Amino acid sequence: MFKKKLEIIFLFITLLSLAVLSYNWYQSHLFDSSPISDEYRELIAEKESEVLQLMQRYYGFTLDIPLIITDKLPAKSYGVTVYDSGEISIYLNKKSMRESMEYILDDVIAHEYAHALMFKRGRFEHKSDGHTAQWQKVCQDLGGSRCDRYVNHDDVIMGKMPF
Ligand SMILES: [Zn+2]
């Protein structure tokens, strides 16, 4: 009788873990295969307009460039700025939004717009992948909260995106 009870408890725990596992899998699948939520879209648009207002205030112009949300960037990347024959665009990584949305809003958007502004002004320094002292100043002016010059990720692409 006691053994039977144990078996039932064990079976219950197994089923419960399976349920939790498949729920997690479903949630992450759901996020990956659907466009980002309206809430995320609004948060990004809000931050973008904040950054552009600061750009207008400190630099006297804004940039009308595409801000593209993609799931084709490597998982460890948050965003990149692309300069391709005079055209500037910014990509944000949808894959990192689930875990790091706050970081993307507080840091990444201003960080990438600072690269875009440097490109717009014809500054293409390759030193520290474009994370120069001038870039840092722009990043701070645009409201970035951690405009670290020594970021170890390569988030500037000159030329075509591979997708
Ligand atoms: Zn950067």
Tell me what the pLDDT averaged over the chain comes to.
90
The H-assigned helical ranges of 63-155 are 97-103, 109-120, 133-141
Burial class (CB in 10 A: 0-12, 13-18, 19+), 60: exposed
Which pLDDT value is given to residue 139? 97
CA 146 – ligand 1 centroid, Å: 11
CA 153 – ligand 1 centroid, Å: 7
Over residues 13-31, the pLDDT tens digits come to 888 888 888 887 777 777 7
Residue ranges per domain, the chain? Answer: 1-34, 36-158
Q: Give me the half-sphere count of Cα atoms (radius 13 Å) on the Cβ side of residue 139.
A: 20
Is CATH 1.10.1740.10 the classification given to domain 36-158?
no
pTM of the model: 0.81
Which pLDDT value is given to residue 25? 77
CA 133 – ligand 1 centroid, Å: 12
Question: What number of other Cβ atoms are within 10 A of residue 82's Cβ?
Answer: 23
Q: How confident is the model at residue 152 (pLDDT cuts 50, 70, 90)?
A: low
Residues with Cβ within 8 Å of residue 148, at least 6 apart in sequence:
131
CA 149 – ligand 1 centroid, Å: 8
Which pLDDT value is given to residue 1? 67
Which pLDDT value is given to residue 120? 95
CA 135 – ligand 1 centroid, Å: 9
Neighbours of ion ligand 1 (CB under 5 A): 155
* Whole-number CA gyration radius for the chain: 21
CA 42 – ligand 1 centroid, Å: 23
CA 27 – ligand 1 centroid, Å: 31
CA 148 – ligand 1 centroid, Å: 9
